[in-house]
Amino acid sequence: MLKHLLIENYALIEKFDTGFRDGLTVITGETGAGKSILLGALSLILGQRADTRVLRNKDKKCIIEGTFNIEKVNIQEIFLQHDLDYDPTSFFRREITPQGKSRAFINDTPVTLQVMKLISERLIDIHSQHESLLVGTSDFQFHVVDGFANILEQTESYRSLFNHYREQKKQLETLEEAERNAKADIDYYQFQHDELDKAKLNAQEFERLEEEATVHRHAEEIIYNLEKTQYLLRDSDINTIDLINEVLSLIKPLSKFGSKYGELTTRIESLMIEAKDISGDVEGVKDAVVHDPGEAARLETRLDQLNQLLLKHKVRSIEELIGVKGQYQKKIHDNESLEEKIRELRQTLNRVEQKLNQKAAEISRARAGAIPGIRKEVLHNLKNLAMPHARFEIRHEPLNALTPQGKDKLTYLFNANPGGTLQELSKIASGGELSRFMLSIKSMISAKNLLPTIIFDEIDTGISGETSTKVANILDGMSKIMQVITITHLPQIASRGDSHLQVYKAVENGVTNTYVKNLIDDERITEVAKMLGGEKPTKVMLETAKELIFNFRNYSSK
C-alpha cells in the first residue's frame, strides 16, 4: 500500500509531502484546484513518461517519491530478477531534470521505466476518468474475465509464448522471402560453379600449359636448332669436342714445365667434360620435342578455356578463379543452409503452435466457467447502484485462429433499461452508466487481483442522489480488503473516508500554487458541508455534514 508521497516542483505544486493511511482516503477540492495533478505526479513513479513541461520551476529538477509497504505483495522474485534490494518498505523515485533527463530509482538503485512500471503495476491500480471508456475495449474485457477466473498468470504465460511464436513466424517469413530471392539466382550460381568445377582448375597448370604450348608452336625451329647444335658439338668432321680434345693434347704435356700449365690442363679437361655433358643433354632435349599438331591443338584449346574463364570472371590468375568458384560454392551452401533453417523453424513453430492451442483450450475452459459468476456479481452490484433493471451478458465465441488473447472472442452486451435488445456495452451505455458499470467491475475483481491499492479519479461522474450512497457503500466495502484512494465531488463519498485530503489553490506573489491539507474534525465537517451547499454552508448544512460523518462512523463501529 501507499504509505507516503513526496512531490516537488511538479506542475502547480511547489512541494507536497503527506502520508496515507489504510482504508478509504478521500480527496476533495474545487474543480481546477489540482486534484488530478496528484495522480499525474503519482503516475511518474508508476513508470509513465514525462518531459520538462511538468517542471514548475524550469531551473530546478522535479522529484516524485512514493513509499510503499509491499510486505503482503508477492514480488520478491521480480526484485531478484532485476538485481534490486528487496525491502518490505520500498521507495520509488523519479527525477526530471531541467535538461529533460529522466531518472528512475527503486530503493536508491537506478532502474528503467519498464522495470519501474512492471513492479508498480503489482502495487497500484489507477482508475482515471477516461478509463471508463476502456470497459468497451477487448483487452480490458479479457482482463476482467481472466482476473475473475484467477488465470492472469496463465494468460500472461500464453501471451509471452504467443509473442515469441509471432516473432518466429516473422523470422520464418523473412527466411522464406530470402529463399525465394535466392532461388531466382541459385541456378545461375550452380551453373557458374559447375562450369568452373568442370574446368578442374589447378594453380600450377596455367604456367605449364603456356610453356608446353609455346614448345609445340615452335617445335620445328627447336628441333632444327638442337640438331644443328648436336652436329657442331659432336657429329661434324671438325666438331667442338674433337677440337677441345686436340687442344688438351697440346697443353697437357706442358704441365711438367710449371703449375700454370697444369692449371690450364685442368680447366681444359673440365671444358671437355662439360662439352660432352651438353652434347648428351641436347640429344635428350631434342628427343623430347615432338611435333604433334593434335597435342598442340589440345593445349591451345585448354589455354583458350582458361583465358576465357579469367576474362569472364574478371580475374588475373587461376588462384583468383579458384576463389570465385569458392564464392559460388558458399552461396549454394548458404541456400542449402537456409532451406534447413526453414525446415527446422517450421518444425519448431508446429510444436509451439500445438502448445499454444493446448494453453488456449485450457484458458477458454476457465473463461467459460467464470462468465456466469461474473454476470451474477456485476448484476448484483449494478442493482445496488440503482440499476435494478440492468441486463448484462458476456458473449463467448470460439475462434479458429490463435490471437494474443487465445482462441476466444469476448463481447460485453448491456442494456440498462427493461425491454430493448442487448447491445455492445461501449455503444449503448451513457457516461454515468459506464462509471457505475466500471465500479461494479472494479469491486468484483479488486480482491481477486490482490492489489494492495486502488485509486479512483472521480468514479462518481454522472451519478447523484441515492446512487451516491450506493457508490460510497461499495468503496467502503472495498477499503476493508485494500487501500482505496478516491477523488470525489460527492459528500456521500467524502463523508466515508478514514482520512480526508483537501486540494486547494492559492495565488502568492502573482504565482498560483496547489496545496494539500489533511482535514480533521471541524475542518472536515466544513468541507463536506461545502460540498452539500456551496462555499458558505448554512448551519443546517453543517449539521447534515456532521450527521453524515458521525453516523457513518457509528455505523462502522457496530
DSSP codes of every residue in 62-93: EEEEEEEE-TTS--HHHHHHTT----SEEEEE
Give, for 172, the enclosing helix (H) or strand (E).
Answer: helix 152-198
Across the range 204-210, mean pLDDT stands at: 76
Higher pLDDT, 157 or 508: 157
Give, for 552, the enclosing helix (H) or strand (E).
Answer: helix 539-557
Across the range 482-494, mean pLDDT stands at: 90
pLDDT tens by residue, 30-71: 877 778 788 888 889 888 888 778 888 888 999 999 999 998
Amino acid 244: pLDDT: 92
Could you give the CA distance from residue 403 to residue 240 in angstroms, rounded to a whole number?
103
Could you give the CA distance from residue 287 to residue 208 in angstroms, rounded to a whole number?
19
Q: Which residues contact 280 (CB under 8 A, 6 or more apart)?
A: none
Q: Is the pLDDT of residue 306 over 90?
A: no
Q: How far is CA 480 from CA 22, 414, 447, 476, 494, in A?
A: 9, 29, 10, 7, 16
377: number of CA atoms within 13 Å, CB side? 19
Could you give the CA distance from residue 225 to residue 47 in angstroms, rounded to a whole number?
97
Give, for 141, the enclosing helix (H) or strand (E).
Answer: helix 138-148
526 CB-contact burial (10 Å; exposed 0-12 / middle 13-18 / buried 19+): middle
Query: Alpha-carbon torsion 409, 414, 419, 420, what sign?
Result: negative
Could you give the CA distance from residue 291 to residue 457 in angstroms, rounded to a whole number?
107
Query: Grid coordinates in use for 428?
Result: 449503448
Question: pLDDT category, 558, cuts 50, 70, 90?
Answer: very low
Q: Which residues contact 207 (CB under 8 A, 6 or more apart)?
A: none
Alpha helices in 385-482 (DSSP H): 425-428, 431-449, 465-479
Three-state secondary-structure class, residue 408 = strand
32 secondary structure, DSSP code: T
Query: Grid coordinates in use for 100?
Result: 529533460
Q: Which residue has the cell 509464448?
A: 161
Task: Convert 287-319 into a string of H (helix), E (strand) and C (coil).
Answer: HHCCCCHHHHHHHHHHHHHHHHHHHHCCCCCHH
Could you give the CA distance from residue 212 to residue 200 in angstroms, rounded to a whole number?
18
Across the range 118-128, mean pLDDT stands at: 82
Q: Confirm if 437 and 429 have CB atoms less than 8 A apart.
A: yes
| Phi, psi of 381, deg, nearest 5 | -65, -40
Q: Confirm if 71 and 88 have CB atoms less than 8 A apart.
A: yes
Amino acid 189: pLDDT: 79
Nearest to 379 by CA among 441, 421, 434: 441
Nearest to 39 by CA among 503, 496, 441, 530: 503
Amino acid 128: pLDDT: 66
Amino acid identity, residue 207? Answer: E
pLDDT tens by residue, 519-551: 988 899 999 998 888 778 888 888 988 888 887
Compute and round to an integer the Cα radius of gyration of the chain: 48
Query: Alpha-carbon torsion 357, 362, 363, 367, what sign?
Result: positive
Across the range 288-294, mean pLDDT stands at: 74
Q: Which residues contact 403 (CB under 8 A, 6 or more apart)?
A: 162
Could you give the CA distance from residue 307 to residue 330 in angstroms, rounded to a whole number?
24
pLDDT tens by residue, 358-406: 999 999 999 999 999 999 999 988 888 878 888 999 999 999 999 999 9
Q: Confirm if 7 and 50 have CB atoms less than 8 A apart.
A: no
Residues 371/375/381/387 CA torsion (nearest 10 deg): 150
Nearest to 120 by CA among 82, 143, 92: 92
Could you give the CA distance from residue 340 to residue 329 in angstroms, rounded to a whole number?
17
Could you give the CA distance from residue 539 to residue 169 in angstroms, rounded to a whole number?
72
Q: Which residues contact 447 (CB under 8 A, 6 or more apart)?
A: 481, 482
For residue 516, the cross-strand partners are 503
Q: Which structural domains are found in the chain, ordered by start?
A: 1-123+451-519 (3.40.50.300), 204-316 (no CATH), 520-558 (no CATH)
Q: What is the DSSP string of 474-500?
A: HHHHHHTTSEEEEE-S-HHHHTT-SEE
Amino acid 457: pLDDT: 81
| Phi, psi of 451, deg, nearest 5 | -80, 135
Nearest to 182 by CA among 332, 340, 327: 332
pLDDT tens by residue, 70-99: 988 878 888 988 999 999 999 999 999 998
Q: Is the pLDDT of residue 136 over 80?
A: no
Residues 147/151/155/156 CA torsion (nearest 10 deg): 80
Q: Which residues contact 269 (CB under 8 A, 6 or more apart)?
A: 248
Q: Is the pLDDT of residue 131 over 70?
A: no
Amino acid 557: pLDDT: 44
Q: Which residues contact 554 (CB under 8 A, 6 or more apart)?
A: none
Nearest to 42 by CA among 114, 123, 139, 135: 123
Across the range 10-27, mean pLDDT stands at: 90
